[in-house]
Copies of this chain bind each other. A is one copy, B any other.
Amino acid sequence: MRMAVRTLREETAPELACPVSPVVDIVFSRWTTPILWTLHAHGRQRFVELERRITSITPKVLTQRLRRLERDGLVTRTYHPEVPPRVEYEISALGLTLAPLFAHLADWAAGHLPEVERARERYDEAPNR
Contacts and interface: CB of A to CB of B under 8 A. Distances in A.
Contact of A22 (B10, B23, B109, B123): B109
B72 A20 contact: no
A123 to B, nearest CB: 4
Q: A interface, by DSSP: helix, strand, loop or mixed? A: helix
A32 to B, nearest CB: 9
A70 B126 CA distance: 12
A122 B38 CA distance: 26
A73 B17 contact: no
Interface residues of A, number: 54
A74 to B, nearest CB: 8
A85 to B, nearest CB: 15
A105 interface: yes
Interface string A1-34: 0000000011011101111111110101011011
Contacts of A119: 71-73, 94
A108 B23 contact: yes
Given A73-B119, A94-B112, A94-B119, A33 B18 contact: yes
Interface of A: 9-10, 12-14, 16-24, 26, 28, 30-31, 33-34, 37-38, 53-57, 70-74, 94, 97-98, 100-102, 104-106, 108-109, 111-113, 115-116, 118-120, 122-124
